[in-house]
Structure 1
């Protein structure tokens, strides 16, 4: 490359490369090894990946050195090879890049999630050792990527500035709350890092294009430096024991233009992206003229709510006893039955959640379902919140339980707690991988598959512990299983569903469906099954919401017609059309299925109340015609 990286980013939009780690994983290199050691063991493989990205159109590539520091390498006994691995990483990337692309040294965080266990001095020493090795091989810049804390970014940046004036790109990994892990607002975080000497600032990892786009919009007008973004290829799905990303290259190409319109100057990809994604972005941006004033405004108005009331001890004691009302399985065999999902909050304020639960109880829904840290994002315990809903509103809680977070001991303990509280409706799910949530340093357990956890819960119903020892009484769990009909081969998905029923599932809850024809296909493919199926319907809140769900969330697909109807809609206009589409889906579902499962978007519980009322009105009309 002929000009300095700083100057290039002031004058042009550059296309970055895509993922290295997940690409190697898809090639067959397992999780649990040091991918950075491959710089020494298989340099030809690493060079080939780099070369594929350059040929796809990448004008900047990262060295395979993200975790090549003494702390991370010590897990593999490689702490003595920091210099060797980093220098090899630069040489390999340079060989692949030639004169076609800039080479930046990739440096990842060390302390994220372990603030009390890692000293500042240790961080400084680790960063210094890695920086010196990368600089010695003549990188065009340093990329501090996937940093969660402003403080650790400052430490790394200060140490680098002691050593060199090389161009530095600083990228934060943030989640929907709009703050860094150590509590800085994005605006304040960018100001601090800009003052500390960064040349480029931005975001990578942790979320797909729409999530990062929201973050970019939130800092418009609060920085003076070029922006960079390297989003993930959506949210990974865990299919047959393997992580898979579903977001298409075409979607990445369209998003690249949106990023460019927001003034972003360096656009690449993180986890799950491939040379195909980079080629799509490079093609979309070919000939693009930067619009430095581009931007989109967003309504960020929030509503404050008051403190919830305290539990009444007498009411609490009464509701601890087991329910005597019919289960949702029994209800669905008799009439239309509605369950509604509300996401537990990610903070300590439950007022709006409880207000929504009360409104849904008033709307006569049959159960409130609460996910178990869905998408691996930390939320309030669904056990505690579900019990509070039961006590304060009288609405039946239906709680999810994920295989991800608890080992066999914790899972049985958790279930025993549900039994003690009289919370007997459960949905057993695999759970999204922890490494892609808001605490990426946490572990995914997966002692059990979704099939195994169903069998083990059934075992508790027989009065037998997971260990095989007898319990003093039997549990009484009503167990649900998840079903994703948004697949290419529906017959294979139904075969998998049949195995869950064989394992003991009492009812089925589907992923959201947005096509009336698919509802008909589901009915024809499952009418031989003898347990209730609750068809999932998630009303769309906006055009952006529709595109995000279609392109970035595994297990959800929207029809072209639905996407066209939602395109460009925001606010109340979007919710009106979203509700209208949901009613049309109900028109297709209700003649075929008694079970209806609403997923409430963004805590707009009014939409679910509206749709529940529509179900009861439609059911009443249908009954009067009998």
Structure 2
């Protein structure tokens, strides 16, 4: 039988693969800017392959790609009539792929996220946010997800509303924050204070995702771990954020000489700023040693990066058979059948 998220957390580290937003834009199936996952209706096979690639790279979770598929985003692109079909099809496709796992059926998570309309001083905005979450969680319940992933919140109260709506439907909740450059949530809470409250109010996992790379997220993850008794998750972006530029929204590229549409590398010129997979693996080991239970990567992550993270915490993935092995490489290998005349050039190539 398929174990629940809580059962898996009790037994060891859970790997959660995210990053569909950037990956599907990179593959040509999603528009940067609006970042609405119309791919669930327009190119369902492309979405299924992305799900499959991350699952095969080690993810225990197939996260239904409904990030930004909420009423406000659909209003902006003029397609509110497609809101429910998009949400439900994204979940159904995730369930199909989850069943393909050769060892144990993967978990399927519904997905809600920051709405960008929450205003702590506007009660009407709070009502709209609650309605957005309520309808999306209801569809998740109807489609039979295993839990809800609520992510990228930068207001404590918006995250709390999300948790309340998930709890009403009787589903487990993973709630993670995207911490902006102010290093504090925008309604005044520290991220560790907020996570402690949400955990005490019933969130199964609390933590952080997106916006920050490992270097600028890990100190906050450690603080959350020190303040929370329950399970803690961390899913950084794979970019080299710094203390001066803690998020990827304003991350500069000193070598870029061309004009950029937004005068920042975000979101379509971040390529030179990637961490390599070995650096991400080092972070994963540190995260596990810190006591994190739910580990993954977010926007920008490739399946190969996720596989390196999973293997770093001793998880053998479906596609570990394709992990790097340089033994037979013509320049760098050690296999006795390689050509000696090539090997002598390995340092000059």
Which bracket does the TM-score occupy, shorter chain normalised?
Answer: 0.7 to 0.9
Larger Rg over CA atoms: 1
| 1:41-190 superposed matches below 5 A | 41-98=42-99, 99-111=104-116, 114-116=119-121, 119-162=125-168, 164-175=169-180, 177-190=182-195
Distance in 1 between the 2:308 and 2:281 partners? 5
Q: Please, which runs of 5 or more residues in structure 2 have no aligned partner? A: 242-247, 261-267, 317-349
Alignment-derived partner of residue 280 in structure 2: 252
Alignment-derived partner of residue 265 in structure 2: none
Q: Please, which runs of 5 or more residues in structure 1 have no aligned partner? A: 289-626
Distance in 2 between the 1:127 and 1:176 partners? 26
Quote the offset at 1:274 in angstroms: 0.7
> Is 202-211 or 216-225 further displaced after alignment?
216-225
Contact 1:43–1:92 under 8 Å retained in 2: yes
Q: What whole-Å deviation, never above 9, does each CA across 1:17-75 have from its counterpart, x for those lacking one?
A: 13011111211343145532110110011111111111111111211101111111111
Contact 1:15–1:266 under 8 Å retained in 2: yes
Q: What whole-Å deviation, never above 9, does each CA across 1:221-274 have from its counterpart, x for those lacking one?
A: 311111111100114566554422411111111111110001111111111111
**Over the residues paired in the alignment, what is the CA RMSD in angstroms?**
2.1
Alignment-derived partner of residue 8 in structure 1: 8
1:209 aligns with 2:214: yes
Q: What whole-Å deviation, never above 9, does each CA across 1:500-532 have from its counterpart, x for those lacking one?
A: xxxxxxxxxxxxxxxxxxxxxxxxxxxxxxxxx
Q: What whole-Å deviation, never above 9, does each CA across 1:396-452 have from its counterpart, x for those lacking one?
A: xxxxxxxxxxxxxxxxxxxxxxxxxxxxxxxxxxxxxxxxxxxxxxxxxxxxxxxxx
TM-score (norm 2): 0.77
Alignment-derived partner of residue 300 in structure 2: 272
Structure 1 residue matching 2:233: 3-state secondary structure: strand
Distance in 1 between the 2:300 and 2:315 partners? 26
1:283 aligns with 2:284: no
Distance in 1 between the 2:118 and 2:95 partners? 33
Structure 1 residue matching 2:301: 3-state secondary structure: coil
Structure 2 residue matching 1:35: 3-state secondary structure: coil
Change (3 A) 1:77 1:257: same
1:17 aligns with 2:17: yes
Quote the offset at 1:218 in angstroms: 1.8
Structure 2 residue matching 1:106: 3-state secondary structure: strand
Which of 219, 236, 258 matches 1:231?
Answer: 236
Distance in 2 between the 1:160 and 1:203 partners? 18
1:262 aligns with 2:290: yes
Distance in 1 between the 2:182 and 2:95 partners? 38
Distance in 1 between the 2:270 and 2:170 partners? 39
Alignment-derived partner of residue 608 in structure 1: none
Change (3 A) 1:132 1:273: same
| 1:356-367 superposed matches below 5 A | none
Quote the offset at 1:111 in angstroms: 3.6
Contact 2:71–2:83 under 8 Å retained in 1: yes
Alignment-derived partner of residue 362 in structure 1: none
Contact 2:225–2:292 under 8 Å retained in 1: no
Distance in 1 between the 2:225 and 2:145 partners? 30
Change (3 A) 1:120 1:30: closer
Work out which structure has the larger RCO, using CA pairs closer than 8 Å and 6 or more positions apart in sequence: 2
| 1:461-480 superposed matches below 5 A | none
Distance in 2 between the 1:243 and 1:130 partners? 32
Change (3 A) 1:287 1:75: closer
Distance in 2 between the 1:224 and 1:6 partners? 14
Distance in 2 between the 1:73 and 1:3 partners? 34
Contact 2:192–2:220 under 8 Å retained in 1: no
Distance in 2 between the 1:138 and 1:11 partners? 24
Distance in 1 between the 2:298 and 2:21 partners? 9
Quote the offset at 1:191 in angstroms: 2.4
Contact 1:173–1:204 under 8 Å retained in 2: yes
| 1:418-497 superposed matches below 5 A | none
